[in-house]
Amino acid sequence: MNPSTKIIVFSNHKGGCGKTSSIVNLAGELGRLGYKILVVDLDAQANASLHIGKLHPSEVKTTAADLLLSKENLLSQAIHEDTYFENVHLIYGDLSLNAAEDKLKDIAPRPNEELEYKLRPLQGLYDVILIDTPPSLRGLTFNALAAATHLVIPIESGSQYGMYGVADLLAIVHRFQETINPKLNVLGVLLIRHDNRLTVCKLIEAIAAQQVGKLLPLRISTSTKVNQAAMLHKTVYGLDPASRVGREFKDLAHYIAEELGLEGKNDGK
């Protein structure tokens, strides 16, 4: 067990850029390597929960929204240990997260720091906590940024609009680093649906490198296996270990483990 739990948030308020797919596959591959992982789903669309969890989000008694809004800490009720992924626990998202975002402002003394406060007792119990965020730059994303030790910015590299909003996200991140979360470390941009042969991808890559300054040295290519794996509650690697995207997500897990200085586990082979 890692003595200091790392908290990684994947954020980019542009919808459909690959946040959830990356979080889920990274969680699954880190779990396969033997690390103890918790996924916190802060998106009302609950896509990560639908992929990893065995329950339908609407049936879950204690969700991320309940955890955020409760006076007493409901962590032990909110954490679901039985998921489709080995070593991966889950705090479910559900539709009530939308309302929770607004209610938090009225009830929490520090509305952006409620998640950080509620997750504090987990220090040392997990190797990595992964937080999936909604497609908006508001309270739920702020709670994730306040709790995180590391940030990954997924960017859809095949889209001419891939960089839209990244400057706003970076401005907010700098604000958090200067005020409530100096430990927040930007790991870099993860280019999703990348194809090195396409000019648009090369352009986005160059602009992302210039604007953010850091690109992860890995790229995720496009494959329909990403959708298939989600429907079958598997990682892409678990679905097809020979697939290119499967190997890319597995390599991402190894890279993150090394970069974050996680203790060595089995190599997953």
Ligand X SMILES: Nc1ncnc2c1ncn2[C@@H]1O[C@H](COP(=O)(O)OP(=O)(O)O)[C@@H](O)[C@H]1O
**Given candidates 47, 143, 149, 235, which one binds ligand X under the rule CB under 6 A?**
47
Q: Rounded to an integer, what distance in angstroms lies between the CA atom of residue 268 and that of residue 250?
A: 9
Contact stretch for Mg ion (CB under 5 A) within 15-23, 64-72, 148-156, 246-254: 15-23
| Minimum separation from the CB atom of position 72 to ligand X (A) | 31
- 216 belongs to the binding site for ligand X (CB under 6 A): no
Helix (H/G/I), strand (E/B), else coil: 89 = strand
- 20 belongs to the binding site for Mg ion (CB under 5 A): yes
- 193 belongs to the binding site for ligand X (CB under 6 A): yes
| Minimum separation from the CB atom of position 231 to ligand X (A) | 9
**Given candidates 6, 13, 19, 80, which one binds Mg ion under the rule CB under 5 A?**
19
Q: Rounded to an integer, what distance in angstroms lies between the CA atom of residue 163 and that of residue 46?
A: 24
Largest Cα span, the chain? 53
Query: Measured from the CB atom, is 103 or 202 closer to ligand X?
Result: 202
Instruction: Fill in the per-residue mask, 200 to 229: x = in contact with Mg ion (CB under 5 A), - = not in contact.
Output: ------------------------------
| Minimum separation from the CB atom of position 85 to Mg ion (A) | 17
DSSP letter at 14? S
Residues 6+ apart with CB under 8 A from 162: 14, 17, 155, 156, 204, 208
Residue 16: contacted member of ligand X, Mg ion, none (CB under 5 to 8 Å, by partner type): ligand X
Pairing between β-strand 6-10 and β-strand 128-132 as defined by DSSP bridges? parallel
Instruction: Fill in the per-residue mask, 53 to 92: x = in contact with Mg ion (CB under 5 A), - = not in contact.
Output: ----------------------------------------
- 9 belongs to the binding site for ligand X (CB under 6 A): no
Judge whether 67 and 118 are in contact, CB under 8 Å. Answer: yes
**Given candidates 20, 112, 143, 243, which one binds ligand X under the rule CB under 6 A?**
20
- 98 belongs to the binding site for ligand X (CB under 6 A): no
Helix axes 199-212, 166-178, angle to 10 degrees: 20
Lookup: tokens for 248 = 């890319």
What's the one-letter identity of residue 188? G
Helix (H) or strand (E) holding 248: helix 244-259
Burial class (CB in 10 A: 0-12, 13-18, 19+), 84: middle
Query: Measured from the CB atom, is 5 or 45 closer to ligand X?
Result: 45
* Cα-based distances in Å from 103 to 77, 100, 106, 187: 21, 5, 5, 31
- 124 belongs to the binding site for ligand X (CB under 6 A): no
Binding residues vs Mg ion (CB under 5 A) = 19-20, 47
Binding residues vs ligand X (CB under 6 A) = 15-21, 47, 135, 192-193, 220, 222-223, 226-227, 230, 245
